[in-house]
A and B are shown apart, each in its own frame.
Chain A
Amino acid sequence: MIYVLLFYEFLKIGLFAIGGGMVTIPFLFDLTEKFNWFTAQELTDMIAVSQSTPGPVGVNMATYAGFKAAGVLGGCVATFGLVFPSVIIVILVSKLLKKWSENLFVADVMAAIRPAVVALILQAGFELLRLSAHDYFAFGFVVVFLLLIHFYKKSPIFYIILSAILGVVLKL
Chain B
Amino acid sequence: MAECLKIFVSFFKIGLFTFGGGYAMVPLFRQELIEKRKYITEDELMDYYSIGQCTPGIIAVNVATFTGYKIQGAKGAVSATFAIVLPSLMIILLLAGILNVLSDNQTVSHAFAGIRLGVIALIGNEVLNLSKKAIKTRYHLFVFGVIAVLLFLFNFSAVEAVLVAAVLGGLRFFKEKWQ
Residues of A within 8 A of B (CB): 14-21, 24, 45, 48-60, 63-64, 67-68, 72, 75-76, 79, 82-83, 85-87, 89-91, 93-94, 97, 104-105, 108-126, 128-129, 131-133, 138, 141-143, 145-146, 148-150, 155-157, 159-160, 162-168, 170-172
Contact = CB atoms under 8 A, between A and B. Distances in A.
Contact of A160 (B17, B51, B85, B91): B17
Given A125-B127, A159-B118, A167-B112, A52 B62 contact: no
Given A83-B85, A108-B173, 10 more contacts: A21-B22, A56-B22, A90-B55, A108-B169, A109-B173, A119-B144, A121-B126, A125-B120, A131-B116, A168-B111
Give the one of B25, B27, B59, B176 with max A CB within 10 A: B59
B140 to A, nearest CB: 5
B46 interface: yes
Contact of A145 (B19, B89, B118): B118
Give the one of A20, A45, A143 with max B CB within 10 A: A20
Interface in B132-172: 133-135, 140-141, 143-144, 147-148, 151-152, 157-159, 161-162, 164-166, 168-170, 172
Contact of A108 (B47, B159, B172): B172
B82 to A, nearest CB: 9
14 contacts: A54-B15, A55-B85, A55-B91, A75-B89, A75-B92, A79-B89, A90-B52, A112-B172, A114-B134, A119-B148, A120-B151, A120-B158, A123-B152, A156-B17
Nearest to B52: A90
Given A55-B18, A60-B88, A118-B127, A94 B169 contact: no
A124 B96 CA distance: 27
Contacts of A142: 117, 120-121, 124
B130 A109 contact: no
A59 B84 CA distance: 10
Contacts, number: 353
A58 B20 CA distance: 10
Contacts of A19: 53-54, 59, 157-159
A59 to B, nearest CB: 5
A59 B99 contact: no
Interface string B65-87: 11001100010011001001101
B77 A94 contact: yes
Interface of B: 13, 15-28, 30-31, 43, 46-47, 49-62, 65-66, 69-70, 74, 77-78, 81, 84-85, 87-89, 91-93, 95-96, 99-100, 103, 107, 110-128, 130-131, 133-135, 140-141, 143-144, 147-148, 151-152, 157-159, 161-162, 164-166, 168-170, 172-173, 176
B165 A56 contact: no
Question: Which 10 residue pairs are nearest across A and B when measured between Cβ atoms?
Answer: A167-B114, A163-B118, A86-B57, A112-B169, A55-B88, A116-B165, A145-B121, A57-B21, A58-B58, A109-B169
Contacts of B62: 86, 90
Given A54-B91, A90-B69, A108-B172, A20 B125 contact: no
